[in-house]
Amino acid sequence: MKKIKLMPDYKCFPIWGMDDDNFGNIDPYSLPISKSLAEELLGWANKYDETLNIDEPLNSGFENIEKENIFKDEGEKLFKKLKLELGDQYTVIYPRI
């Protein structure tokens, strides 16, 4: 069984391989999931990218706690969809950010 992690990071795909033979960033389109879920995952990652302050990286982040909580809730929903679509082929983890 493969192990992956759902986790946003700036300018990266939101999926990370956690196995010795598959470690690192993974394009959602390379997973056996629906195109619509892959698009949702990339949209979620783009929302995270929008919080990056290129000029002052230490000032990066969401405008307010409400927007941050909405983002986190969307991550929880995507985590559940990802687990459902991948079934028992993968172990999916989502460290609440």
Every domain of the chain and the residues it spans: 2-93
Strand order in the sheet with 2-6: 22-26, 15-19, 2-6, 90-93
Closest CA to 91 of 22, 12, 9: 22
Whether 49 shows a pLDDT value over 80: the answer reads yes
Whether 47 shows a pLDDT value over 70: the answer reads yes
Please tell me whether the overall predicted TM-score, pTM, comes out greater than 0.85 for this model.
yes
Q: How confident is the model over 60-81, as pLDDT tens digits?
A: 999 999 999 999 999 999 999 9
Whether 15 shows a pLDDT value over 80: the answer reads yes
